[in-house]
A and B are shown apart, each in its own frame.
Chain A
């Protein structure tokens, strides 16, 4: 079974700050990590491989520095890695990103594609499903459990107040929740091996036979970020506790009068 896991390198939001003027992320000096949901997806792929055999390939679109995210995935146990990196890919929105990744996936080949549900920097949850659509694959998003039996996978899909278990014939695509798996650590030997392997870097030229330059990058993106701004912190409200209904009404009225609202 050939499993391909799509990962994204994101700034560690635990340490990230917003530029108060531009409202954008300050990325300088912020460590980069593999997106949490993607790491869970990678772990699920590694566990499936341990159970039924096959290979796990990781794919990442990003700048050359994203190489380290792929090395980390190799050090966790992935078999091979592809970095999709080119000036032409810059500025892509989710649709254009999915176009590029889908083109690469066609070239790599797969039985099962796993992506994370959403990235912690963009929070769109769109790229996974868009890849599925562009490849015309059946897809299950929000996977919290994943198993395989022959040509079929079984996915428990999370809803707000319930869950569905779906049986899907491969090839197909699954988007993983962090809850799907607790990712393993890299191993020391895995890291040494990871830096002895080659990460295949594909630029625009490697994909251009199947990739219309009009569909990618800034100009191929149907959406663009018009404005971004931080939220203003508001004062926490006052909590009135241990009051009877009458006392509560009185207390609220008092507050409203005090503030000249009534």
Chain B
């Protein structure tokens, strides 16, 4: 049991931190206000390998691991949670499905460009009537000769505004429950006729992230783009979400640490009643509590990541990490705004954005309530 990062991970953390400070921080406020992700920044993320961290070098990835991926997620989310989710959806949701369930040919053809920095991925599962309960899914795929014809609509597809590749789930058997009738497909968002990507959905937080409705109208998908066994889509999606929750937990840790760092910096300089507000014991004790919670969340996240790297059962660990870290992110960002008072509430400072961004970590890739279902499900309560 060693809680210290090894040298390679320390150096990776140093890279993520300096990149986030120098390249991401200067753009974060403007991207939030414009509700648009900077594509120049996206290509820099690709160039330095941020979109292929835990994947094998033989497919064009970085050959690093999930732990390093959480370090990346934390460092970028400290300054911009929208960058965090762009990386997370691409890495954990889209690429993990192809990496874990793709054939050798599919990995060479579809995974390689995603993880070597040429293409960006997204993931289409959620529908208007199928959120936490996937049974409401209505997107269908019907066999036509050798191909499949997709019809339906997916909401909240992150990265869809600029992504090339989407792993999308559709019912191939409507005679059974969705958990047995869903199949995964790999589609080209930009090239396949019949796919329409909506404008950005207006949101409270992570406003720079691309998040759209993707509509499929008679989209012809060749059979070699079926990912994994027929009818195993639900299992593939749930496996991807297990991976994704580690990323979201790390994102939440990053948002929390970023906000606390801002409050500490501000509190050193801000003077009231003749001294800096950080010299009041009330501030000090609150900051100590916040840092303790962030550290606990970080350790839970690392534990889940290391379990995944060791090929152990990690789903419940990831759910616990996300449940706790997302709660901490909301508490710490609320504190940071409070500690900075009127200025914390102003858009000139980043903590109001962080407070808005924190909320989504309790909702996406499984709400906190769903996390409790996953955790309690693993506890043999019945």
| A interface residues with partner B (beta carbon < 8 Å) | 68, 71-72, 75, 185-195
Contacts and interface: CB of A to CB of B under 8 A. Distances in A.
B7 interface: yes
Contacts of A194: 8, 11
Interface stretch (B48-56, B159-167, B289-297): B48-56
Given A188-B64, A191-B15, 20 more contacts: A68-B11, A185-B18, A185-B19, A186-B11, A186-B48, A187-B15, A188-B15, A188-B49, A188-B50, A188-B53, A188-B72, A189-B52, A189-B64, A190-B49, A191-B8, A192-B57, A192-B62, A192-B63, A193-B63, A195-B7
B12 interface: yes
Given A187-B49, A188-B15, A189-B49, A195 B8 contact: yes
Contacts of A68: 7, 11
Given A187-B48, A188-B49, A71 B7 contact: yes
A188 B62 CA distance: 6
B213 interface: no
B122 to A, nearest CB: 21
Interface string B37-65: 00000000001111011000100011110
20 contacts: A68-B11, A71-B7, A71-B11, A72-B11, A75-B15, A186-B11, A187-B49, A188-B50, A188-B53, A188-B62, A188-B72, A189-B57, A189-B63, A189-B64, A191-B11, A191-B15, A192-B64, A194-B8, A194-B11, A195-B7
A188 B46 CA distance: 11
B267 to A, nearest CB: 20
B69 to A, nearest CB: 9
A98 B259 CA distance: 47
A190 B68 CA distance: 13
Interface of B: 7-8, 11-12, 15, 18-19, 47-50, 52-53, 57, 61-64, 68, 72
Contacts of A193: 63
A188 B7 contact: no
A191 B12 contact: yes
A65 to B, nearest CB: 10
Q: Is the interface of A mostly helix, strand, loop or mixed?
A: helix
Contacts of A186: 11, 15, 48
Contacts of B52: 188-189
Nearest to B10: A68
CB-based closest 8 A-B pairs: A188-B49, A189-B62, A188-B62, A195-B8, A192-B63, A187-B49, A187-B48, A186-B15
A90 to B, nearest CB: 23
Contacts of B62: 187-189, 192
Contacts, number: 54
Contacts of B61: 189
Contacts of A71: 7, 11
Contacts of B49: 187-190
B59 to A, nearest CB: 12
Contacts of A189: 49, 52, 57, 61-64
A224 to B, nearest CB: 34
Nearest to A31: B14
A188 B18 contact: no
A195 B49 CA distance: 16
B91 to A, nearest CB: 11
Contacts of B15: 75, 185-188, 191
Nearest to B6: A195
A74 to B, nearest CB: 10
Contacts of A187: 15, 47-49, 62
B57 A188 contact: no
Nearest to B22: A185
B8 to A, nearest CB: 4
A190 B50 CA distance: 12
A55 B266 CA distance: 48
A195 B10 CA distance: 12
Contacts of B18: 185
B275 to A, nearest CB: 23
Nearest to A33: B14
A185 B7 CA distance: 17
A190 B52 CA distance: 12
B73 to A, nearest CB: 13
Contacts of B50: 188
A188 B8 contact: no
A188 B67 CA distance: 13
A68 B53 CA distance: 20
